[in-house]
Amino acid sequence: MFTGIVEEVGIIQLINRSPQSAKIEIEAKKTLGNSKIGDSIAVNGVCLTVTDLALDRFSMDITPETLRLTNLGNLKIGSPVNLERSVRLMDRVSGHLVQGHVDEVGKILDWKDEGNSSLMRVSISPKSMPYVVYKGSITVDGVSLTIANLLDDSFEISLIPHTKAVTTMGHKQIEDQVNIEVDLIGRYVERLLTYQQKN
């Protein structure tokens, strides 16, 4: 479980691709603190397992399923990635509860500056739209964000200077693909209501 509060931006140092899977090596500093092999770290909002550790980097395997359902297949050597270690029970939840299970890959449709912030519009499919709520939470590339506006096929998020500075969001461009995870609470509410209607 994560919170969507990015701890640092890591840099992809190595990618070994096979026909269907991949292994990546990420350079990082803060994220390595107290980390060990077998730990979960969210990479652009995707929960992955640490398979190897060195002084300033760690390795992770990416399965075929993950490559199909996320934007990690687009990574290149030198790509920046948002990193977050799994939350501990004693930690503050400054963002919202995030599983690291990507629901879909969206596309940045528009980006405009508004004073000291920026408004980003991201596409979302009809199947995920019911879980998107005005002023609710959503995770975009592992970043916990608040939905500023809802449209028929997309949503808008407002990015403050701090978010753009300490995550990869400040480097995003129109047409870039981003990992989207909708709010977990909405899924549980839907499941509860659906189950009650059937029984």
**For 15-34, what is each residue's pLDDT tens digit?**
999 888 999 999 999 999 88
Query: Domain check: are 143 and 182 in the same one?
Result: yes
Whether 147 maps to a domain, the answer reads: yes
Query: Domain check: are 119 and 75 in the same one?
Result: no
Q: Are 157 and 120 in contact (CB under 8 A)?
A: yes
189 vs 167: CA distance, rounded Å: 30
Count of domains forming the chain: 2
Query: Domain check: are 72 and 126 in the same one?
Result: no
Query: Domain check: are 67 and 37 in the same one?
Result: yes
Query: Domain check: are 74 and 131 in the same one?
Result: no
38 vs 51: CA distance, rounded Å: 6
Whether 198 maps to a domain, the answer reads: no
Query: Domain check: are 80 and 109 in the same one?
Result: no
Query: Domain check: are 162 and 117 in the same one?
Result: yes
Give residue-wise pLDDT tens across range 97-131: 889 999 999 999 999 998 889 999 999 999 999 99
**DSSP of 131-199:** G--TT-EEEETTEEEEEEEE-SSEEEEEE-HHHHHHSGGGG--TT-EEEEEE-HHHHHHHHHHHHHHH-
Residue 23's SS3 state is strand
Residue 125's SS3 state is coil
Residue 74 has pLDDT above 90, yes or no: yes
Whether 93 maps to a domain, the answer reads: no
100 torsion bin: left (phi>0), alpha (psi -120 to 50), beta (else): left
DSSP state for residue 98 in the 8-state scheme: B
Q: Are 140 and 99 in contact (CB under 8 A)?
A: no
Mean pLDDT over all residues of the chain? 92
Query: Domain check: are 71 and 111 in the same one?
Result: no
Query: Domain check: are 111 and 65 in the same one?
Result: no
pLDDT band at 194 (very low <50, low <70, confident <90, very high): confident
Domain boundary among 19, 54, 85: 85
- The reported pTM is 0.92
101 vs 2: CA distance, rounded Å: 10
Q: What's the CATH number where 53 sits?
A: 2.40.30.20
The pLDDT assigned to 140 comes to: 98
Burial class of residue 97 (count of CB atoms within 10 Å of its CB; 0-12, 13-18, 19+) = middle
The pLDDT assigned to 47 comes to: 97
Residue 92 has pLDDT above 90, yes or no: no
Give residue-wise pLDDT tens across range 59-73: 999 999 999 999 999
Q: What is the mean pLDDT of residues 54-62?
A: 95
182 vs 121: CA distance, rounded Å: 15
The pLDDT assigned to 139 comes to: 97
Please, which residues bridge with residue 99 across strands?
none
Query: Domain check: are 79 and 108 in the same one?
Result: no
Give residue-wise pLDDT tens across range 143-182: 999 999 999 999 999 999 999 999 999 999 999 999 999 9
Whether 188 maps to a domain, the answer reads: yes
46 vs 98: CA distance, rounded Å: 10
**Where in the sequence is the domain holding 149, given as residue range(s)?**
104-192
Q: What is the mean pLDDT of residues 50-58?
A: 95
Q: Are 44 and 142 in contact (CB under 8 A)?
A: yes
Nearest alpha-carbon partner for 124 in 144, 142, 147, 143: 147
Domain boundary among 31, 56, 85: 85
Query: Domain check: are 81 and 128 in the same one?
Result: no
Whether 96 maps to a domain, the answer reads: no
The pLDDT assigned to 87 comes to: 86
